[in-house]
């Protein structure tokens, strides 16, 4: 678990290139490079822009670490539900 958390943090930090948040280009690159196997439409710029806007809680045009964690939480929850359904343990 520690390794997974460290990976989440270092992935975000390396994607920001020393800044405190992801701009449009950095967010798109992170989604395409790191999440293409889990998400649909990672090659669709409009879909990525829409996702970024949905995550951007403070409407500053960037994705902060907290906003990034919202995306990670959503993906983890979706994966968990999918795994439960696959194993027949969904309620």
Encode pLDDT of 18-36 as tens digits. 999 999 999 999 999 999 8
Instruction: For the domain made up of 22-86, give the CATH fold.
Output: Recoverin; domain 1 (1.10.238)
pLDDT band, residue 89 (cuts 50/70/90):
low
What global pTM score does this model have? 0.86
Cα angle, residue 39 at apex, residues 20 and 73 outer, rounded to 5°: 55
**Is the Cβ–Cβ distance between 52 and 62 less than 8 Å?**
no
List the one residue out of 44, 43, 36, 71 whose CA is nearest residue 57.
71
Lowest mean pLDDT, pick from 4-8, 13-17, 75-79: 75-79
Summary mean pLDDT of the chain? 92
List the one residue out of 23, 19, 14 whose CA is nearest residue 62.
23
Domain ranges in the chain are: 22-86
Phi, psi (degrees; rounded to nearest 5) at 39: -120, 150
User: In 1-91, which ranges are continuous DSSP H helix?
Assistant: 2-16, 24-34, 45-55, 65-86
pLDDT at residue 28 in the model = 96
pLDDT at residue 83 in the model = 80
Tell me the average pLDDT across 45-62.
Answer: 96
């Amino acid at each position: 678990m520690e390794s997974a958390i460290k990976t989440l943090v270092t992935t975000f930090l390396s994607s920001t290139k020393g800044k405190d948040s992801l701009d449009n280009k950095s967010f798109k690159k992170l989604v395409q490079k790191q999440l293409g196997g889990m998400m649909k439409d990672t090659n669709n710029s409009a879909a990525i822009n829409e996702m970024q806007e949905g995550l951007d809680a403070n409407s500053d045009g960037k994705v902060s670490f907290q906003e990034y964690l919202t995306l990670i939480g959503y993906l983890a929850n979706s994966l968990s539900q999918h795994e439960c359904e696959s194993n027949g343990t969904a309620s």
